[in-house]
A and B are shown apart, each in its own frame.
Chain A
Amino acid sequence: MAQRTTEIITGLFMIAGLAAVLVLALQVSGLSPKSAGDTYTLYANFNDVGGIAPRGKVAMAGVKVGSVRSVTLDKETFQARVELAIDADVDNIPADSSAVIRTSGILGDQYIDISIGGDMESLSPGDSFYSTQSAMNLERLITNFASGK
């Protein structure tokens, strides 16, 4: 085969490879060019984080507004301290809102849902949520129920 034809076909092959990487990036892993936007940090302390892990979803009214950055143990209160990265354009979360751990579906992943409060002031970067609600622990519920508490 002529060298030129070989070169053209090989070039097309490499373009197909690049296109495949693009499909994997944009369509499969949902990487969008604008997603690396600015975020600000909020904290929430939970008695029990359940299955919340870094990169987990933070949502308001079911819409994703940020992600979990880290989960650490506060050695003084023995609570879990969760660092949340909230999208910068969601800057008006009322100060008395609470962070609640919920499960999507019955077997789905756990995520942090922000229940909106009614305060006129809003949380500013670095603040902590005043009230939180821990993960529902099925075993504990059953134990409490069985022992009649």
Chain B
Amino acid sequence: MMDRIAALGRLGFNVVATVGRAGYFLGGALAGVPKPAVGFPLLVRQLYSVGVLSLAIVVVSGLFIGMVLGLQGYTILSDYGSEAAVGQMIALTLVRELGPVVTALLFAGRAGSALTAEIGLMKATEQLSSMEMMGVDPLRRVIAPRLWAGFIAMPILAVIFSVVGIWGGMLVSVDWLGVFEGAFWGNMQSSVSFVDDVLNGVVKTVVFGFVCTWIAVFQGYDCVPTSAGISSATTKTVVYSSLAVLGLDFVLTAVMFGDF
């Protein structure tokens, strides 16, 4: 019995210590802005591996999710004879919810796990400690470009996701199911507000990008430097990022679109 209570206490200590290390780590990575001449090429390379390489999965998922929304929306709305509202439904769902959330989940799986594994392996092969020996701060050289690349890439990926999804929805509902195109766009434009819907969605993606990248690089940096440690850190990245995204999404939605 006492052992159980002690284990719970130890767990509490560990959680608090990890959160503290993560905060300290984030501060160190963000405070150390490298010189533009050094930092910019590093950032571009990370943007490429985090953003451009995630583009394919984001575009394909966006297309299919938009097409499914079009199909489902049409089936439900045609019962009420208001299938012209399908454009409005697709656009609002994608811009407010599915764009940010699904992109963040894909981003955590595609880019976050790769970041964790890469940094974890750097730690296991003692590249990070060699850098420190050479007087190069690994937080600045390795972590900061990856963090910034995640912040920048995630909103871009999410807006591309929404646009491709809306296009996929139009493909199904207008070209295939025969919804009148003018009504499709007209309903959409009269109900989607740029500031309230699109920009709030972008704010969500910025928050998600921040959280996902932070979790990913911290798990890599903080992992146990063995092959088992790296694998468990990668798993943790995906699990924690997904949970954080879904939980934060509820909070953000309540703040942005809730009436209170």
Q: Which residues of A contact B (CB under 8 A)?
A: 3, 6-7, 9-10, 13-14, 16-17, 20-21, 23-25, 27-31, 55, 57, 105, 107-108
Contact = CB atoms under 8 A, between A and B. Distances in A.
Interface residues of B, number: 31
A29 B47 CA distance: 29
Contact of A28 (B51, B198, B202): B198
Contact of B47 (A3, A10, A20, A23): A10
B250 interface: no
Contacts, number: 77
Interface stretch (B138-146, B186-194, B209-217, B228-236): B186-194
B166 A28 contact: yes
Given A10-B51, A20-B159, A107-B80, 10 more contacts: A10-B44, A13-B55, A13-B156, A14-B47, A21-B159, A24-B198, A28-B166, A28-B188, A30-B190, A57-B190
A10 B82 contact: no
B197 A20 contact: no
A17 B82 contact: no
B166 A10 contact: no
Given A24-B162, A29-B197, A55-B193, A6 B45 contact: yes
Contact of B160 (A6, A17, A28, A30): A17
Contacts of B198: 21, 24-25, 28-29
Contacts of B55: 13, 16
Q: Interface residues of A: mostly helix, strand, loop or mixed? A: helix
Contacts of B168: none
Contact of B51 (A13, A24, A29): A13
Contacts of B192: 28-30
Contacts of A21: 159, 198, 202
Contacts of B52: 9-10, 13
B163 A23 contact: yes
Contacts of B51: 10, 13
7 contacts: A10-B52, A20-B156, A23-B163, A24-B95, A24-B163, A25-B194, A29-B192
B39 to A, nearest CB: 14
Nearest to B186: A30
A17 B185 CA distance: 21
